[in-house]
Structure 1
Amino acid sequence: MKQAAAKIMMVRPAHFGYDPSTAETNSFQQTEGAEQQYAIQRQAVEEFNGAVATLRATGIDVVVIDDTDEPKKPNAVFPNNWVSFHDGRVILYPMLAENRRWERRMDLLDELAEAGVPVKEVIDISKYEAEDKFLESTGSVVIDYENDLAYACLSSRTHKDVLNKLCELNGYEPVLFESFNKEGVPVYHTNVVMCIASKYAVICAESIREDQRFDVLQTLKTTGHEVVEITMDQMYGFAGNMLEVENQQGESVLVMSQTAYDSLTEAQIQCLSAHSKIQTVQIPTIEKFGGGSVRCMMCRVL
């Protein structure tokens, strides 16, 4: 598979908001103003619709699916956590929070098939939930598709046994490490720590356990990636939460939030711009109360 996604799925939220059941393991979520539920949901939909319009205007192929009204799923805007697509093979994942398990929708797969996404085989590994072992798809795992490597930082949402199962299914080699936030707590998802594109990788190396740092960086360099290191503060600005997409003109586009872009230095921007067109979207409400950014909103389907 090519590294850059050719088509993405995004889910328009029906009940977006701060979620206490996920906040315990996600230090990126904020609570200030969380009681204004109606206003938050309205603003999240506006941000979502604006992001879709911006991406489509850039020539990116976006399939939009509407979240269902019931049951209420405050994190449905982040579909990359429960499913992944591999040339017609679809994998469903074990999720830590019970209300996130409700996001796994077979009807959604039917809609994607109607939109031209190949769905030939569905493999469900969510059974690991019964063992309290979780892996939240491409939130937990950042995949180097061209080199068959699966990067993952261990956390309560990322268990090595499930990672090994994913690697077994797809012929990946795991690159396992530990990554910590400012409080010394494991970072909940690998895709806030790093992004892998065709020719470069963005990574918060300082968050990685010191004795593992060199090996992770060396693996990225050995596979031909120019490494762009970001700071811990930039990671909190979602500068690791990016996705390379190929637009319909065949151009490489690196999608990030405006928050992420504003955190970057001029030198970092120049480095990334040498390889990809940078496209930003404005999603401050989703970032604040959801604790995830635009990469979490984009699920690669092709």
Structure 2
Amino acid sequence: MKQITDTILMVRPVNFRMNEQTAVNNYFQKKLDKSNVNSLATEEFDTFVNKLRDVGVKVIVVDDIKEEDTPDSIFPNNWVSFHSDGEIALYPMFAENRRKERRLEYFSKLEEAGLKINNIVDYTSAEEDDIFLEGTGSLILDRVNQKAYCAISPRADEDLVIEFCEDFEFTPVIFNAYQSVKDKRLPIYHTNVMMCLAEEFAVICLDTIDDKKERKNVVKHLKMDSKEIISISEEQMHEFAGNMLQVQGAEEKFLVMSARAHRSLNVEQVKTIEKYCKILSSEIETIETCGGGSARCMMAEVFLPKA
């Protein structure tokens, strides 16, 4: 069982903009008054993909469909996850216009790349009951130790987390995480903006876990699995310093993040990360501002076996 992969699925945007349906509980999103938002986002996307490919990461790019009007399709990790036993999970999405992002035809691209799909586990009927669990946005998977960390929110239902864990044989590590919005503590919409789990370390904003017992429990699990904890501040989290993903390049491992997240890190944090792997960062300011998601959200990790 591996924690990181060298194969990533990414979706090239055609209708990217601030999604008004997700802005209700994604407090990272902002509207940009520019007419060329999609072309700026596409430029950032292409540069990012090239940087990943340059270090030997296998990036399978699929194109979004203009007619569907799916402004957040650039973030595929919310609707699908790929597992080493050939299973695929499909997830129920909070925003109605995000449900159209789930396109099974993308999977033929993976099969063309020589990967094997054995089964699809479909949780999407939960949408009918207004129950949601947004993929590896909500679930931070420790694939080696079979643990699923999850911050409960309107987009991550506790019972569905437990159901996923039973189906995929993970142990749930469930907690609540909050951010300050206009003097209120409100739930963080996705766990992966406050936490990143790599092979030997975790980048996490512990300050968002207001309940001391819950915080202690998360730390206990990370230490139990010998993860070095790199704490980030809430301020750094708002620069997307929690939204990172470790990937395997041709010869080296990389922690992938946005340029904005990279700039927010202090010398000590960078030094600790670089003990374990190199940092690869790319400028995705338009995507972050309008989408309220960053580098990690753009990459759906592919762990499927070879056919």
Q: TM-score range by the shorter chain?
A: over 0.9
- State the match for 1:96 in structure 2: 94
CA deviations 1:255-282 (Å, max 9, x no partner) are 0110000000000000000001110011
Q: Distance in 2 between matches of 1:236 and 1:46?
A: 23
2:5 is matched with which residue? 5
- Partner Cα separation in structure 2 for residue 32 and residue 93 of structure 1: 29
- The equivalent of 1:162 in structure 2 is 160
Query: Which residue of the partner structure matches residue 217 of structure 2?
Result: 215
Corresponding residue of 1:69: 66
Deviations 1:43-76 (A, max 9, x none): 0000000000011111111111111122110000
Aligned partners of 1:73, 1:112: CA distance in 2, in Å?
21
Which residue of structure 2 lines up, in the alignment, with residue 203 of structure 1?
204
The reply to whether residue 50 of structure 1 matches residue 51 of structure 2 is no
**CA root-mean-square deviation:** 0.9
Corresponding residue for 2:137?
139
Any idea what SS the aligned residue of 2:132 has? coil
Per-residue CA distance 1:196-235 (angstroms, 9 max, x = gap): 0000000000001232111111211111100000000000
| Structure 2: gaps (5+ residues) | none
**3-state SS of paired residue (1:74):** coil
Instruction: Note the 1:251-262 alignment, pairs <5 A.
Output: 251-262=252-263
Matched residue SS, 1:181:
strand
Deviation at 1:117, TM superposition (A): 2.7
The one-letter code sitting in structure 1 at the alignment partner of 2:38 is Q
The equivalent of 1:19 in structure 2 is 19
Corresponding residue for residue 125 of structure 2: 127
- Following superposition, the deviation at residue 110 of structure 1 comes to 1.4
Mapped contact 1:139–1:191 kept (Cα < 8 A): yes
Task: Letter of the 2:151 partner, please give it.
Answer: C
1:113 deviation in Å?
1.3
- The 8 Å contact of residues 117 and 301 in structure 1, kept in 2 or not, is answered as no
TM-score, normalised relative to structure 1:
0.97
Aligned partner letter, 1:274: K
Separation in 2, partners of 1:234, 1:108: 34
The amino acid across from 1:239 in the alignment is: A
Runs of 4+ that moved beyond 2 A? none
| Aligned equivalent of 1:179 | 177
Using the size of structure 2 for normalisation, the TM-score is 0.95
CA contact (8 A) 1:142 1:152 kept: yes
Amino acid at match of 1:47: E
* Aligned 1:220-239 pairs, distance under 5 A: 220-239=222-241
SS of residue paired to 1:219: helix
Report how far residue 32 of structure 1 moved.
Answer: 4.1
Q: Secondary structure at the match of 1:106?
A: coil
The separation in 1 between residues aligned to 2:24 and 2:291, in whole angstroms, is 12
Q: What is the count of residue pairs matched by the alignment?
A: 298
Q: Displacement of 1:145 after TM fit?
A: 0.5
Task: Tell me the equivalent position of 1:86.
Answer: 83
The answer as to 2:246 corresponding to 1:284 is: no
Shift of 1:283: 0.3
Provide the C-alpha distance between the structure 2 equivalents of 1:14 and 1:255, rounded to a whole number of angstroms: 23
Distance in 1, matches of 2:259 and 2:240, equals: 9
Contact 1:177 1:209 in 2 (8 A): no
Contact 1:133 1:161 in 2 (8 A): no
Structure 1 regions of 5+ residues with no counterpart? none
Partner residue of 1:266? Answer: 267
Task: Report the equivalent of 2:37.
Answer: 40
Q: Summarize deviations over 1:135-181 as a string: whole Å, max 9, x none.
A: 00000000001100000000000001111111011100000000001
CA distance, structure 2, for counterparts of residue 294 and residue 32 of structure 1: 19
